[in-house]
Amino acid sequence: MNTNRIRILSACIVAALAVGAEAAGERWFGESLADRGRSVYQAHCAECHREDGAGDANWQQRGPDGAYPAPPLDGTGHTWHHDLSALQRQIREGGEKLGGVMPAFSGQLGDAEIAAVLAYVQSLWPDDIYAAWTKSYPDDAATGIPVADDAQGAGGNPVTARLRSLLSPGTRIGEPEDTPVAGIYAVRAGSRYLYVDESGRYLFTGELMDLEARESLTDKRMGSIRLEALAGFAQEDMVVYPADGEEKAVLRVFTDTTCPFCRRLHQEVPALQAAGVTVRYLPFPRSGPDGPGAEEMRSVWCETDRAAAMTEAKSGDGYIVGDTGCENAGAVAEGYRLGVEVGVTGTPAIILPDGRMIAGYQPYRNLLRTLGIN
């Protein structure tokens, strides 16, 4: 375990140095390719070649079955005596043809994954070994294995591929993104983020908090997804209270006319407007698109002066439901669908300009402070 850490660490340092200094020697692969290769390695190779690539201690002696155990790949064996095409062949076809026992991976790993795993294997080699390999195969060292950008992407990434096979079909799975937690990646699945380990087998759902910065890193990441999703909801389908004078910020608020804290926030909308904040309401019927709140909001959305109707409905003075069958009424079901998609579970849900979400009521002064408006 210790050596494993040290090796990976030194590989990272080498890669980091290679960016700025020629001295450490350029390698044909970048850090990100080697990083991807690490997950392929851990999922498919580590069981035989060991976590740290050191191979079996007795790799030079035939076992009781007459076969050689897995050799080291970390530069201490003779892997570096092969050119890239021989190494690719060994992984694609395995060792059977040559009387070995390593399984063929052509059915499981694509070219991009094989390139990535070789990059990882070579990242384990110390500089002098890599330099010796470069001397034997200068062309390989110069060109490496060409990897198309998109081949490194969703299809080629083992974590993504695995998640794809394990999660429900049709879920859009993004590229694994680094998190500050070692070995844990954030992966976008549909409109939410999940956290996975590097094998793509173990998964967390939930929220990643930075206690020092006092913020939800999950919510921060969700921001761009929310903005993207919200862009699809037409502005004329919102009920808008424009800023007085110069607009300094826009808050989008998922609201329900029957929810007490939505009403409370609504009483402070004039103060927000006065401070230069535009409030745009989207409908989010708490009890679902068929509940009583939905009925009331359909009626509000059908009125000619929706802003006045919204205020009336939220005043609690007995708003009388009118027409609910107009064309605009469809916005209520659409708002509900969108809310669920971006993670709204209750009202009010306040979307900040950067896409972060405040779940629940906050006094307008706090909102202004969050927006940086005094």
Of 91, 124, 329, 357, which one interacts with ligand HEC (CB under 6 A)?
91
* Rg of the chain taking only CA atoms, in angstroms: 29
Given a contact cutoff of 8 angstroms between Cβ atoms, the answer to whether 47 and 103 are in contact is: no
Decide if 195 contacts 186 (C-beta within 8 A). yes
Nearest alpha carbon to residue 36 among 141, 153, 130: 153
Question: Which one of 39, 79, 255, 299 is in contact with ligand HEC (CB under 6 A)?
Answer: 79
Q: Which of residues 108-137 bind ligand HEC (CB under 6 A)?
A: 117, 121
From the list 74-82, 201-209, 218-226, 271-279, the region that binds ligand HEC by CB under 6 A is 74-82
Residue placing its CB nearer to ligand HEC in the complex, 137 or 261: 137
Pairwise CA distance, residues 323 & 331, whole Å: 14
> Rule CB under 6 A: which of 8-47 touch ligand HEC?
44-45, 47
Nearer to ligand HEC, 44 or 226 (CB): 44
CB of 118 to ligand HEC, least distance (A): 7
Site for ligand HEC in 181-200 (CB under 6 A): none
CA–CA separation, 44 vs 46, rounded Å? 6
> Least CB distance from residue 253 to ligand HEC, whole Å?
51
The distance of closest approach from Cβ of residue 97 to ligand HEC in the complex, given in angstroms and rounded to an integer, is 9
Tokens of 127: 């500089």
> Cα–Cα distances in Å, from 339 out to 165, 277, 298, 330, 336?
27, 22, 16, 14, 5
For the bound state, the minimum distance from the C-beta of residue 96 to ligand HEC, rounded and expressed in Å, comes to: 7
List the one residue from 14, 18, 34, 102 that touches ligand HEC (CB under 6 A). Answer: 102
- Closest residue to ligand HEC: CB criterion: 95
C-alpha 108/C-alpha 87 separation (Å) is 16
The answer to whether the beta carbons of residues 77 and 59 sit under 8 Å apart is: yes
The interface region with ligand HEC, picked from 70-78, 163-171, 184-192, 227-235 by CB under 6 A, is 70-78
Binding segment for ligand HEC (CB under 6 A), chosen from 10-18, 64-72, 261-269, 334-342, is 64-72
Which one of 101, 184, 227, 340 is in contact with ligand HEC (CB under 6 A)? Answer: 101
Return the residue of 78, 231, 304, 318 that touches ligand HEC, per CB under 6 A.
Answer: 78
Is residue 316 packed enough to be buried (19+ CB in 10 Å), middle (13-18) or exposed (0-12)?
A: exposed
What contacts 374, CB < 8 A, 6 or more positions away? 368
* Residue 49 binds ligand HEC, judged by CB under 6 A: yes
Between 36 and 49, name the residue whose CB sits nearer to ligand HEC.
Answer: 49
Tokens representing 161 are 């591929």
First to last CA, the chain: 54
Burial class (CB in 10 A: 0-12, 13-18, 19+), 231: exposed
Question: Which one of residues 30, 100, 126, 291 is an interface residue with ligand HEC (CB under 6 A)?
Answer: 100
Structure tokens at 311: 């205020």
Comparison of 70 and 329: residue with beta carbon closer to ligand HEC: 70
Residues that bind ligand HEC in the complex, under the rule CB under 6 A: 44-45, 47-49, 67-71, 73, 77-79, 82, 87, 90-91, 94-95, 100-103, 105, 117, 121
